[in-house]
Amino acid sequence: MKYKLFLFFILWLFNLQIAIAQCDVKNFAFKDGEVITYSAAYNWGFIWVDAGRVSFKVFEETLGGQQVFHFKSYGSSVPKYDWIYKVRDSFESWANLETLKPIKHIRNTSEGDYKAYEFYEFDYSKNKIYSSTHNSKKKPTKDTLNLQKCTFDLITAVYYARNINFENYQKNEKIPITFLVDNEIFNLKIKYLGKETITTRDKRTFKCLKFMPDLVAGTIFDKNSDMTVWVTDDKNRVPVLVEAKILVGYVKALLLTTEGLRYPLSSEIKK
């Protein structure tokens, strides 16, 4: 079985809501103290295995004399599966409190024998991104990337996207996205599929907004892969469920718990 890249996979899934039609948004969706957790399940033959856990946390703090959001995400394989493939991934981002534009981003990954570290600093005065990266297969590298308009790292993209007004888009309309990952900037599109009510595997029912993103072929996806994302159709815009076909089977990310949400989870239909 493959348990690689749990946190990266979920971040990839959830940041794919982002639209670049506008960069400036007012945060209405989350607040300091929010904590959201997910399970990562892998399809092994006819069996779904709960193989990992991922958490997303929001803090408000001071950085360089200014108030910022500090986002932390951590993913790991379930301990009983560590002997097969041990995963310990962490991502951190600091973002402007008003615009949610990234200031710096750190990735620290441990997946089996593979280790990786990435650091990005965003310089808006020069429109540059300064990076420092290394991994088990590559020597330490310093680089400078051109900072395109409305470029977000994986973490800030998640939180920025939760504040997009998707009521402005029609069903089947494609929306452009821009984000930074693995020292590259990607410009893709997603298809907005409208609204849908779903019942998750743990028997919770939600009113959702539904999306299908473009994917980049590589270590996880191939050209025939597809993915569907559901987020709550309320002011919280919390990702609820993701389903995807990958190179080695199928995976799902499922909402487990929420703490400190800014609003009641009004999209959940109580029975």
CA-based nearest residue to 136, from 116, 118, 119: 116
80 in any annotated domain = yes
Helix axes 6-15, 154-161, angle to 10 degrees: 40
Q: How many domains does the chain have?
A: 1
User: Among 60-64, 93-97, 208-212, whose mean pLDDT is lowest?
Assistant: 208-212
The pLDDT-based confidence of 236 (bands split at 50, 70, 90) is: very high
CA-based nearest residue to 53, from 268, 260, 255, 258: 255
* Dist. CA 93–CA 35, nearest whole Å: 15
Give the three-state DSSP class for 10.
helix
> What average pLDDT does the segment 162-182 reach?
77
* Dist. CA 153–CA 93, nearest whole Å: 8
Cα 131–Cα 56–Cα 248 angle in degrees, nearest 5:
80
Handedness of CA 75, 270, 18, 71 (dihedral sign): negative
Q: What is the CATH number of the domain that holds 185?
A: 2.40.360
The pLDDT-based confidence of 257 (bands split at 50, 70, 90) is: very high
What does DSSP say about strands 35-44 and 249-259: parallel, antiparallel, or unpaired? Answer: antiparallel
The residue with greater pLDDT, 189 or 57, is 57
What is the reported pLDDT for 207? 96
Res. 247: pLDDT tops 90: no
pTM attached to this predicted model: 0.84
270 in any annotated domain = no
Give the three-state DSSP class for 165.
coil
145's tokens: 């990337």
Q: Residues 2-40: pLDDT tens digits?
A: 334 444 445 544 444 444 445 667 788 999 999 999 998
268 in any annotated domain = no
> What percent of the chain lies above the pLDDT cut of 70?
82
271 in any annotated domain = no
What is the reported pLDDT for 89? 87
263 in any annotated domain = no
Q: Residues 84-113: pLDDT tens digits?
A: 778 888 999 999 998 889 999 999 988 788
* Dist. CA 199–CA 180, nearest whole Å: 33
**Residue-averaged pLDDT of the chain:** 81
By the 10 Å C-beta count (0-12 exposed, 13-18 middle, 19+ buried), 72 is classed as middle
267 in any annotated domain = no
Res. 147: pLDDT tops 80: yes
Res. 71: pLDDT tops 70: yes
128 in any annotated domain = yes
What does DSSP say about strands 128-135 and 114-123: parallel, antiparallel, or unpaired? Answer: antiparallel
78 in any annotated domain = yes
Name the residue range of residue 182's domain: 6-258
